[in-house]
Structure 1
Amino acid sequence: MPKTGIPPAAAASRVTQDKWVAVRAALREAGDRFADLVLSVPDPSVLATKDWSVAETAAHVTGIAMNYTAMVSEGRRPLPIPEVRQYVPVTTVDTIHTGLNRVQLESFPERDPVRLAARLRGAVAEILSITEHTDPARVVPWLGDSRLPVAGVLAHMVNELLIHGWDVARAVKAPWRMPEDQAALFFELFLVEIGRNGYGHMLDDDRPVRPGRIAVEFRSAHTAPVTFVLESGVATVAEPDVPADVRVWFRPSTMNMVLFHRFTHLQAALRGSLRVWGRRPWLLPAFLRKVRLP
């Protein structure tokens, strides 16, 4: 995931017309399901995560969708929650919870499930309307001075809905589906594309730079193979024919849950949803200490 991007020849874009159609359909469907789930919860004060109630989780997801209506716009539009503006360019994976996420929740005090569901549906509809005729490969600024195609922003929103939908559903023992084709969009259109276009300051930390090179190839039944390379603290994206130290096969829904710390690697492996092998598989933890998510 290069800070300034890498030559296009090094890794092909995952933004295709088929995936654009798929991510738009996934956003509409997951947004409706999430809103319906929130409306079905008898007590929205029940904890959905370690720190957030169902209502707060819904407000977090809704706030992201609201601000994305501005981020994906082709013209300059003010963020609907303007208090987060100063945090957007400096956010890292290590500061997002104590900075941007905290300020967004404090500045968006709505906690009524009915109004939140309506605001979420409205924001999703607006995102889809704004981007109906846009170029899905159009690159826009994202958090931490990173760069994403519009399709990647929508894929991130789909993942927020899927992950936090799981949080809410688990809290109230309700069913929740995480379709593999929808989950795969996060890997293809967000993770790979932020690597191709530049991750900015998102992976900044104070840890010593690990010398040497680690190449990790990722494969699944729902994504095209790709290799991420970490060399002297800088991550890049390459095609899968680059020699790999570690090879990972994954089920997209489980991989996303691992990346966002809902499952451990061992739990994923025991489910048969994550397999690791290669000539130096012990290097994967070192790779993931740098190439990580909040």
Structure 2
Amino acid sequence: MGADRGFDPVTEHEKARAALRAAIPRLVRLLRDLPDRDAPSGVPVWTVGDVGAHLAAVYLGLCSTVSPDETVDWDSILPPGDGPFIERVTAMNATSIKLFTGDDRARLDDFVAERGEAFLRVTEGLAPDTPIVVPWYGQEITLATATGLMLSETLVHGLDIARGARLPWPIGPDEASLVLGQSMPTMMTLALNKEKARSVSIAFDLVVKGGPRLAIVVDDGAVTVTRDAPPRAYDCRITATPTAFLLVSFRRTPIWKAIGRGQMRAGGRKPWLAMQLGELIGTP
């Protein structure tokens, strides 16, 4: 099963919207079925209730970027200054769980359902490359990236909640492929650790089975991520199943476990460089 070629961005965005539309009710049911909101989650420092609050904040934030009816006082929420991307997002994550406390946490399911539906309704028919201003990133992203982000947050943090609540939460390869294709190129670029990338020159060929193929080129503190790039020489090729790469990227599955299960492998002229990708691209 090889990587896709010549993908249609409009068709893929519609598939991402459909996947999000299907994932939102799953998340809502998960939030409603929580037996204990104070139980530890898949995120070590957060309870399952904290993760739910973070997801509600994500839905609020992304909905506010596309809907004139959703207003947020970003000046009171955003961290001061223009620090590195990972530090900025980490600070926002810490703030996000404080936006929903007390009785609000008992209604997270309804809030997520309402804002998820609003996001899909307001963006219906918009082009995938429609620019979206994201205040906590300090820049614009495309609607396709925003849709992929909402899907990734739903899937990955849904897993965090399910692990804490000991409830099932499957992530299918098609869903994971859509996240990787829609949001990963932009997010990898934003999340580059420029200090670690200084004086580094590596070209990675990321082959997602049945999904996108990404050329990730790190060159002296900068990175470009290109989908379906023209042929070129690579230092390292990483081949992975979609779900495994998604979970390894977000530090939800150890890379050794994915390798041991045959879900990831490295090749090319310098396969040992594969481990550097996770060090160069940060995760909040």
TM-score range, shorter chain: 0.7 to 0.9
Q: Indicate conservation of the 8 Å contact 1:226/1:240, yes or no.
A: no
Aligned to 1:102: 94
Q: What CA deviation, in whole Å up to 9, does each residue of 1:130-156 have, x standing for no partner?
A: 101322211223343344210111111
Do the aligned partners of residues 271 and 80 (structure 1) sit closer, same or farther apart at CA in structure 2, a change above 3 Å counting? farther
Task: Measure the CA separation in 2 of the matches of 1:13 and 1:175.
Answer: 35
Amino acid paired to 2:124: E
Do the aligned partners of residues 156 and 139 (structure 1) sit closer, same or farther apart at CA in structure 2, a change above 3 Å counting? same
Do the aligned partners of residues 71 and 284 (structure 1) sit closer, same or farther apart at CA in structure 2, a change above 3 Å counting? same
CA shift at 1:78, angstroms? 3.0
Partner residue of 1:162 out of 144, 152, 155? 155
Aligned to 2:273: 283
Amino acid paired to 1:69: C
Q: Which runs of structure 2 are paired with 1:15-94 in the superposition (5 Å)? A: 16-48=9-41, 49-73=43-67, 78-79=71-72, 83-86=76-79, 90=83, 92-94=85-87
Task: Measure the CA separation in 2 of the matches of 1:184 and 1:192.
Answer: 12
Q: Indicate conservation of the 8 Å contact 1:72/1:131, yes or no.
A: yes
Q: What CA deviation, in whole Å up to 9, does each residue of 1:153-189 have, x standing for no partner?
A: 1111111111111111112221111011111112111
Amino acid paired to 1:116: L
Aligned to 1:7: none
Q: Indicate conservation of the 8 Å contact 1:55/1:111, yes or no.
A: no
Task: Measure the CA separation in 2 of the matches of 1:23 and 1:164.
Answer: 17
Task: Measure the CA separation in 1 of the matches of 2:7 and 2:83.
Answer: 26
Amino acid paired to 1:224: P
Do the aligned partners of residues 184 and 51 (structure 1) sit closer, same or farther apart at CA in structure 2, a change above 3 Å counting? same
Partner residue of 2:233 out of 229, 234, 243? 243
Question: Which runs of structure 1 show a deviation greater than 6 angstroms over 4 or more consecutive aligned residues?
Answer: 12-15
Question: Is the partner of 2:132 in helix, strand or coil?
Answer: strand
Q: Which runs of structure 2 are paired with 1:103-118 in the superposition (5 Å)? A: 103-109=95-101, 114-118=106-110
Task: Measure the CA separation in 2 of the matches of 1:69 and 1:88.
Answer: 24
Partner residue of 1:234 out of 222, 227, 249? 222
Do the aligned partners of residues 187 and 110 (structure 1) sit closer, same or farther apart at CA in structure 2, a change above 3 Å counting? farther
Q: Which runs of 5+ in 1 are unaligned?
A: 1-11
Q: Indicate conservation of the 8 Å contact 1:61/1:161, yes or no.
A: yes
CA shift at 1:113, angstroms? 5.2
CA shift at 1:114, angstroms? 4.5
Task: Measure the CA separation in 2 of the matches of 1:257 and 1:89.
Answer: 29
Do the aligned partners of residues 258 and 87 (structure 1) sit closer, same or farther apart at CA in structure 2, a change above 3 Å counting? farther
Task: Measure the CA separation in 1 of the matches of 2:6 and 2:121.
Answer: 24
Identity among equivalent positions (%) equals 23
Question: Is the partner of 2:253 in helix, strand or coil?
Answer: coil
CA shift at 1:111, angstroms? 5.7
TM-score by length of 2: 0.87
CA shift at 1:212, angstroms? 4.4
Q: What CA deviation, in whole Å up to 9, does each residue of 1:222-256 have, x standing for no partner?
A: 32322110011100024151211111111111111
Q: Which runs of 5+ in 2 are unaligned?
A: none
Aligned to 1:149: 142
Instruction: Please give the root-mean-square deviation of Cα atoms over the aligned residues, in Å.
Output: 2.6
Aligned length, in residue pairs: 276
Amino acid paired to 2:275: P
Task: Measure the CA separation in 1 of the matches of 2:276 and 2:209.
Answer: 26
Q: Which runs of structure 2 are paired with 1:128-147 in the superposition (5 Å)? A: 128-142=120-134, 143-147=136-140
Task: Measure the CA separation in 1 of the matches of 2:10 and 2:70.
Answer: 26
Amino acid paired to 1:264: P
Task: Measure the CA separation in 1 of the matches of 2:92 and 2:80.
Answer: 6
Task: Measure the CA separation in 2 of the matches of 1:174 and 1:145.
Answer: 36
Q: What CA deviation, in whole Å up to 9, does each residue of 1:251-279 have, x standing for no partner?
A: 11111111111111111111211111110
